Structures are given as C-alpha cells and as structure tokens.
Structure 1
Amino acid sequence: MASSKSRVLKTEPLEHKDAKWASLVKTTYTDPNGIERTWESSERLTRPKGADIDGVGVVAILQDPSNLSESPRILLQKQWRPPVNATVIEVPAGLIDPNESPETCAIRELKEETGYVGEVMQGDFGVSPIMFNDPGFCNTNLRMIHLTVNLSNPANQNPQPDLEENEFIETFAVPLKDLWEECRRLEKEGYAIDARVGTLAEGVELAKRCGSLHKGGFISH
C-alpha cells in the first residue's frame, strides 16, 4: 500500500509555542512520604472543553446474518505512524468533536475510516470505562466503543471510506478467535502492533485458554 513508502526524514525538538497536538510538561508533586518530586510527561492539547476523553477506539465486529456459523471477525487497519517509523496494526479510532458523545464519535470514525456503518452493542458492554493509553507518559485517554456491523445492511455491501488527504489507511478483517496468532504473524512481517489490538488479542487468547469463552459459545472453533 502507499503508506509503506513513507519514511521519517528527520526528528528535531519541538518548541512549546509551535505545538498543536501535544506538549511536554513538568509536574511537581509530593510522594507518600511527603517528599517533593517532579515528573516529565506529555499533555494532549486537543481535548474539547467539557469532554472527559480525547477520543475513542472502535471494536467493530462483522456479522453476517445469512451465515451464522461463520466465526466473528474484527475490523483492523494498517496505518503508517511517524513516531514509530512503521506501519501499525490498529483498530479504527479518532478524536472526539465538541459536544459529541463517544458512541456518535465511534460510528462517525468507523464510517469515515472504513466505509462501514456500525451499531453500538446493546446493554452495558457498548461503552468501556475511561482508559489511559500510557499514564506514566501522557494524559491521553479514551473509551473503547464496541460496535456490530451488519453485513446484510445495503450500506455495508460496498463500503467506501472518506479519508482525509493525509490519511492512508488499509482496512482488513480477521477472525476474532485468531487475533493472537495474526498479531504474532504480522509482527514477524515487520508490522508494529498497537497496544489496543494487542490487548484485545491477549484477552481473547486468555479467555480461550482459560475456557470461559467455551461456555458462552462466543468463540467458534
């Protein structure tokens, strides 16, 4: 794909006045013994006023009502990322707009990045608790939104993404039960694995090996 031709040309310090997306900050705090210490971290600059999250990650599960025996598949993406100078295996994701709910943000981002129309899973599993990506380094946080994509919906017959000019995203799907093995295979091929994808894969694999998913029948073999 086109993004595989991308390369980092140079890396240089960024002045605070020039930062648009994130900046470095030094926090002074006291530890449990009352000793004053400092901590260097990054702070995202794009969180809308009044919002409690920066964005969402999307777990989109493809469902085909005409083929109920098919193993559930999860939508993934390949996208080159400058900070790691590699093409990363990710879930669809994006920043939340002002006054936008996490659910609306997830449905919008899924449509824009993949062309698919999704629905939030029913019950209390649709929206995750607030999660921090790397709290020792950055205050960035998100909610994972769990969506189903009905492949019988005419809108999902020929999905066409609506990408921005600086976005080069390749969408693909893998059986959820094989996600761990796919991550291992893709890593060997030189791809970087986003922690959200890796954590999902690890959770599915742990559940399989511990046997809990066999009882619920969610994973087919």
Structure 2
Amino acid sequence: MSVKTQEPVITRVSDLPTSEARWVALKKVEYVDQVGTARTWEVAVRKTRSAKAGVDAVAMGNIILHPSRPPATLLVIQYRPPLDAYTIEWPAGLVDAGEAAEEAAVREFKEETGYDCSVTSVSPIQAADPGMTNANMQLVMVEVQLKEEDGEEPPLQRLEDGEHIQRVIVPMSEFYDRLVEYAKQDRTIVAAKLFHFAAGIHFAKTNRYGI
C-alpha cells in the first residue's frame, strides 16, 4: 500500500457505455406484474459472478480472540468513489472464478487485514441491494485466534494497487456505540450490512419485548 499524501478528489463523472464497463452493466428488465400490467425496471448487474459459488461477493464478519483481551471485531475504513466518502465496513471482496465463498473469505480477509482466520459459519445467499441490482453476497463469519505474545502492531496487508484500507479493532462491547460515533464524522458512512448486525446485537440487549 502506498503512503497517503492527500484526500481523494473526484475530478469527473461521465456516462459509461456498457461496452467499456469491466465490472458492471446496466440492463432494462421488461416484466408483467402480479395484476397483469407490463412494466420495466432498470437493473445494474455484475459481470464477475463465480459460476462455482453462484455468488458475487463475501463479507467477513469476524471475531478477534486474544487470551487476555475481551472479544473484538476488526473494521476496515476505505474511500468509496460512488459515495465520495469513507465507509466503515467489515472486510469484503469479490469471489474469484472457480472459488467457493469460504475460500474467498479466507483469501480476502488475509489480503485486507493481514490476519489468518478460520471460518465458523456461512450464511445463505443474500440480496445486496434488490431495488437496484441483482448483486448478491454471503456473510462468512470467521475467527482470528491471537496469541499472548501478539503485539499491538497488526500484520502486513496484501493490498492491490489503488487499495488504501485502514484497520481498526473494536471491542464487541463497544461495537454499536462506535459505529454511531463514526456516523457522526464528516465524510464518513457506516455500511448498512455492518450497522444492521451491530444494531441487532444492541436491540437484543436493550429491547423491552423480552426477546
């Protein structure tokens, strides 16, 4: 990863012909609805879906375990051009051709964070943003087992050119509150999937319904 020397700046936004798009395409879906009315829908589709996994991407929900520290989770902060903002997310990435979701999760987690991990569960395939795209994903929960001698310095990342990813380890007891604080910062947005997970934990602890 190269050293940051400035804040990212969008210099131009223009229309992209589908023929020039490497990752996504824009399609028009024509369909007949539940009462027989003909309708159309604009859909963004990924060009990279793995035939083996049948899924576009994985997000790695993670628990960091240390012998003498409370359970924590590792968040990543990165600039996202579609939002022109920094997002707070869990590590995530596209599934390569011929790769299973579990394999992609272990590989991407190592690349983005530097840590080795083990998979503990894999979710069903989920819609990523069903009103706009057919993109789907799976949530792969992983554990990182640290040793007592592991220091404060995290291991080296294996980032690709153009990737600038900051890592933050947050105790699970502070998970929800930290995300709320991040959301108050200028030019910062918490990813919905991450916030929903944290909000679910918070709700389970604080709801008045006895759930």
Same topology, TM > 0.5: yes
The one of 29, 48, 54 aligned to 1:27: 29
User: Are 2:127 and 1:166 equivalent residues in the alignment?
Assistant: no
Once the two structures are TM-superposed, the CA of residue 71 in structure 1 deviates from its matched residue by: 3.0
Q: Which residue of 2 aligns with 1:56?
A: 58
What is the percent sequence identity of the aligned residues?
A: 34
Instruction: Indicate if the aligned counterparts of 2:53 and 2:101 stay in contact, CA closer than 8 A.
Output: no
In structure 2, distance between residues paired with 1:61 and 1:152: 14
SS in 2 for 1:11: coil
Matches of residues 147-166 of structure 1 in structure 2 within 5 Å? 147-152=142-147, 158-166=154-162
In structure 2, distance between residues paired with 1:4 and 1:209: 41
Change (3 A) 1:4 1:199: farther
More helix as a share of residues:
1
User: Are 2:184 and 1:188 equivalent residues in the alignment?
Assistant: yes
Amino acid paired to 1:147: V
Instruction: Indicate if the aligned counterparts of 1:3 and 1:80 stay in contact, CA closer than 8 A.
Output: no
Q: How big is each residue's C-alpha offset from its partner over 1:50-99, in whole Å with a ceiling of 9 and x where there is no partner? A: 431001000111001x22xx432111001000000001101100111122
Instruction: Indicate if the aligned counterparts of 2:50 and 2:99 stay in contact, CA closer than 8 A.
Output: no
Q: How big is each residue's C-alpha offset from its partner over 1:100-123, in whole Å with a ceiling of 9 and x where there is no partner? A: 1111111111100100010111xx
Instruction: Indicate if the aligned counterparts of 2:26 and 2:42 stay in contact, CA closer than 8 A.
Output: yes
Once the two structures are TM-superposed, the CA of residue 159 in structure 1 deviates from its matched residue by: 1.3
The one of 14, 17, 27 aligned to 1:15: 17
Q: Which residue of 1 aligns with 2:94?
A: 95
User: Are 2:211 and 1:209 equivalent residues in the alignment?
Assistant: no
SS in 2 for 1:129: coil
More strand as a share of residues:
2
Change (3 A) 1:50 1:100: closer
